[in-house]
């Protein structure tokens, strides 16, 4: 994957119906000329991690810093890819193994009644594109999610089989369910 594709995946995996309304990734130009990148870390597995890198020259310069809440990178007009590369390879990937944040992801439960029903799993990031399932909580009927809220009326309480188990590595897509967007395990 290219650096921009990895950033897109990381961003997607942070979206939970709330995060993307307050936080995000910004890539802008400077009038020096150059680039400035701002990546919000609050409520992500990278929150709290600090980083600093500097390379100064008249026309060849790069300045990167994370205060634990925002990763900021600025560089000359040739440094956009390097800013993204350093975020990925020197900041994000090395800090994954120290991450403590649990993500709610959902797996589709195949039911014979033809509805799309989803069950929560808890997972931790193991890369910018994958999670490891760390828990499959016990659930009740009220814990299930559906695409359309009216689908609850069509359901009978039954437990469908799930394919995933604790320890599985999975990738997710964003899917709009009745209560907003959620990370759903790719089939």
Same domain, 76 and 7: yes
Number of domains in the chain: 2
Contacts of 8 (CB under 8 A, 6+ apart): none
Domain with 178 in it: 103-185
* Domain finish residue from 96, 128, 155: 96
Q: Rounded to an integer, what distance in angstroms lies between the CA atom of residue 105 and that of residue 177?
A: 12
Same domain, 27 and 66: yes
DSSP 143: G
Last residue of a domain, one of 72, 96, 120: 96
Q: What is the pTM of this model?
A: 0.88
| Segments of the chain assigned E as strands | 25-30, 34-40, 50-55, 62-67, 70-76, 103-110, 116-125, 131-135, 145-146, 169-170, 172-177, 180-185
Please, are residues 131 and 103 in contact by the beta-carbon 8 Å criterion? yes
Backbone φ and ψ for 114, nearest 5 degrees, come out as 80, 10
Tell me, rounded to whole angstroms, the distance of Cα 9 from its chain centroid: 7
Q: Are residues 86 and 165 in the same domain?
A: no
Of 42, 71, 96, at which residue does a domain stop?
96
Q: Are residues 112 and 41 in the same domain?
A: no
Same-domain status, 80 and 109: no
Q: What is the mean pLDDT of the chain?
A: 92
Query: 133 and 108 in one domain?
Result: yes
Instruction: Give 11-22 pLDDT, tens digit per residue.
Output: 999 999 999 999
pLDDT in tens, 121-165: 999 999 999 999 999 998 877 778 888 877 777 766 565 678 899
Quick one: 88 and 119 in the same domain? no
pLDDT confidence bin for 58, thresholds 50/70/90? confident
Going by their DSSP bridges, the two strands 34-40 and 25-30 should be labelled as antiparallel
Query: Quick one: 17 and 82 in the same domain?
Result: yes
What distances in angstroms separate CA 51 from CA 68, 78, 93, one per listed residue?
Answer: 8, 21, 13
Residues 116 and 179 in one domain: yes
């Amino acid at each position: 994957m290219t650096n921009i594709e990895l950033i897109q995946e990381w961003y997607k995996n942070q979206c939970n119906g709330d995060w993307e309304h307050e936080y995000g990734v910004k890539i802008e130009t400077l009038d020096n000329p150059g680039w400035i990148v701002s990546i919000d870390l609050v409520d992500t597995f990278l929150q709290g991690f600090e980083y600093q890198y500097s390379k100064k020259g008249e026309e060849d310069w790069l300045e990167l810093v994370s205060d634990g809440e925002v990763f900021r990178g600025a560089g000359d007009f040739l440094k956009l890819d390097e800013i993204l590369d350093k975020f990925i390879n020197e900041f994000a990937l090395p800090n994954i193994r120290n991450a403590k944040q649990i993500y709610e992801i959902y797996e589709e439960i195949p039911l014979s009644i033809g509805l799309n029903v989803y069950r929560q799993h808890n997972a931790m990031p193991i890369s910018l594109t994958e999670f490891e399932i760390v828990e499959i909580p016990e659930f009740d009927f009220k814990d299930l999610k559906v695409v359309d809220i009216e689908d609850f009326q069509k359901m009978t309480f039954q437990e469908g089989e799930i394919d995933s188990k604790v320890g599985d590595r999975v990738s997710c897509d964003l899917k709009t369910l009745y209560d907003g967007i959620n990370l759903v395990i790719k089939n």
